[in-house]
Amino acid sequence: MNKPEISLGMGSLQQVYRDSAFTPLDMVEQVLAAIGGDPNKTWIHVVDAATLCAQAQALMARGPEGLALWGIPFAIKDNIDLAGVPTTAGCPDYAYTPERSATVVQRLLDAGAIAIGKTNLDQFATGLNGTRSPYGACRNAFNPDYVSGGSSAGSAVAVALGHVSFSLGTDTAGSGRVPAGFNHLVGLKPSLGLLSTTGVVPACRSLDVVSIFALTADDAQQVFAVAHGHDPLDAYSRPALPHGFDFGLAARPRLGVPRADQLQFLGDIDYAQCFADACKHAQALGAELVEIDFAPFQETARLLYEGPWVAERYQAIRAFIDARPESVFPVTREITLGGAKPLAADAFAAQYRLKALAQRCAGVWSGIDCMLLPTSPTIHPIATVLAEPIARNSDFGCYTNFVNLLDYAAIAAPAGFRTDGLPFGVTFVAQAHQDQPLLHLARRWQRALQGRAATLGATGHAAVSFAAATAVRSGQIQVAVCGAHLEGQPLNAQLTSRGARLVQRTTTAPEYHLYALPDGRRPGLVRVAEGGAAIEVEVWELPASQLGSFVDGIPAPLGIGRTVLADGRLVAGFICEQQGILGAENITAFGGWLAYRQQVSN
């Protein structure tokens, strides 16, 4: 009797590990059966069954305690080192066998994850389509006649087909996002330097990041929490900075969308409709859509194919391609050798142009928290890309290429399907170190999807949510307010003048009484042992550095303590001293200060 297939979504897999007899050894058996003959050309090297089973048994003997990724299978793009397994970068003659795993891979292994093997890619990570590989064109998880997206082609398809729970890719111009969009996945392009690139074959070293493909934003966040961290061996590594206001949790995140005349879908009517539907989905989540001038970002995207960055690709494999040009895939060779031609003066000219464009782009951020973009304007059949390999590849990068050049973070998320069943995805783009808010926004986005759009990759499985580890501190404090500091009320400016933003409108747990204080201008919130009710509050977020001056301006009998919200969270919030309610009117029955004030004014 065949065992039922277990979803490899991390929430589902961890749940069955806890609640049933399913073990990491069973997982290895399921994964190897799923890979089978690999008709999608997903894998370059799969670790042998005996080794995988031994790793699973060692984990079972050790137990899951303290291992955040215990028994979770993952795949590695074959330009990232896994000890004892050849790294080819998609070029057999380039292959070497590393003694040590890449830093980011080792962190995942140390957390209990199991590396299943190495995945197919556009050779030397040059391309956004997945066809530039001597190991065969990687095929889309939904329709094998279409491209998978690249260069992290196999990494995306392995997750989408249910071969692994997550995978590592790299992203220089969109390689961690385009394949996610084409295969109904989450694809996190982290801020530069937050995931170590030690042990990664470079493409453009100054732009490269290790990316994460996952079935859900929860999964991506859990992996990011384990994988990120400063690496002194990586010259581009940097620690994650506090991200500030968490727009991903905000009641009204401000999402920038290109003006209608700047959107391009290359005649793909379905994708255009899908993006229109995605904008409606964003508004249903409470987001405010803000039209932006996308022109400077488009101009920046075009810079990627100019002097310094093409030259940087050449520099990455210069010794090899000069010595053995015949070993390089033809279109990859043509592109890379083009990097030998620009002069140093051309590089400086392009850098000056980038600085000027970055100044123009920076002005957009004062009015938005992040951008909402199509991940790609369209998708092509493999045959179309092979017929025009450079032009059709460029089609895929118009919404992605600028991100790395401007040192932004981004996350791709599923958003629906074309009428022919091929996936459509969107990408949220934010400034550097906004990785955590992006993950929160993608989680919120994904959890609100309906029907087929809510399924995981190409598996058809439903998501199981779980509380993923918080990866980066915000540097912010959330404060629950219930009276004169509410939006539109007389003292709200004491919050907004300190840079505070509204996160949510909610209620307390049903454990409070609300009083109108004798001065008639403020309420007092008091927690009671019994007979309490839920009271309407707003949760605002302000920089931790501003909390002291805010608290200092609160007159007795009010102060700041801890408020229990309806969902059980404890946040800073207004409290009232017991003597302050002497002679005060109990207005709990109104459920909140605004309802009471409306009754008084009537």
C-alpha–C-alpha distance, residues 394 and 401, integer Å: 10
| Nearest CA among 146, 213, 200, 235 for reference residue 442 | 213
C-alpha–C-alpha distance, residues 209 and 195, integer Å: 7
Phi and psi dihedrals of 237, rounded to 5?
A: -70, 145
- Crossing angle of the two packed helices 344-362 and 307-316, in degrees rounded to 10: 120
| Nearest CA among 328, 302, 303, 301 for reference residue 314 | 328
3-state secondary structure of 516: strand
Phi and psi dihedrals of 133, rounded to 5?
A: -140, 130
**Close Cβ partners of 18 (under 8 Å, ≥ 6 residues apart):** none
C-alpha–C-alpha distance, residues 10 and 463, integer Å: 9
Q: What strands, in cross-sheet order, belong to the sheet with 585-586?
A: 523-527, 512-516, 585-586
Question: Which region holds residue 568: left if phi is over 0, alpha if psi is between -120 and 50, else beta?
Answer: left
Query: Catalytic one among 151, 152, 211, 237?
Result: 151
C-alpha–C-alpha distance, residues 246 and 501, integer Å: 9
Contact (CB, 8 A) for 177 and 210: no
| Structure tokens given for 492 | 């709200």
Is residue 341 annotated as part of the catalytic site, yes or no?
A: no
- Which is it for strands 254-258 and 370-374: parallel, antiparallel or unpaired? parallel
Q: Beta-strand (E) ranges in 450-557? A: 476-481, 501-507, 512-516, 523-527, 536-543
C-alpha–C-alpha distance, residues 412 and 456, integer Å: 14
| Nearest CA among 180, 91, 187, 88 for reference residue 140 | 180
C-alpha–C-alpha distance, residues 187 and 156, integer Å: 9
C-alpha–C-alpha distance, residues 416 and 275, integer Å: 9
For the beta carbon of residue 397, count every other beta carbon within 10 angstroms: 22
Is residue 327 annotated as part of the catalytic site, yes or no?
A: no
| Structure tokens given for 49 | 């069954």
C-alpha–C-alpha distance, residues 384 and 378, integer Å: 12
| Nearest CA among 60, 69, 52, 135 for reference residue 105 | 69
Phi and psi dihedrals of 60, rounded to 5?
A: -65, -40
**Close Cβ partners of 446 (under 8 Å, ≥ 6 residues apart):** 186, 216, 217, 413, 414, 454, 463
Query: Catalytic one among 175, 191, 376, 474?
Result: 175
| Structure tokens given for 393 | 């590849």
- Which is it for strands 570-576 and 476-481: parallel, antiparallel or unpaired? parallel
Is residue 151 annotated as part of the catalytic site, yes or no?
A: yes
3-state secondary structure of 279: helix
Please list the residues that pair with 476 across neighbouring strands: 543
Phi and psi dihedrals of 96, rounded to 5?
A: -145, 160
Cα end-to-end distance, the chain, whole Å: 72
3-state secondary structure of 458: coil
What is the largest distance, in Å, between two alpha-carbon atoms of the chain?
90
Q: Which residues are catalytic?
A: 77, 151, 175
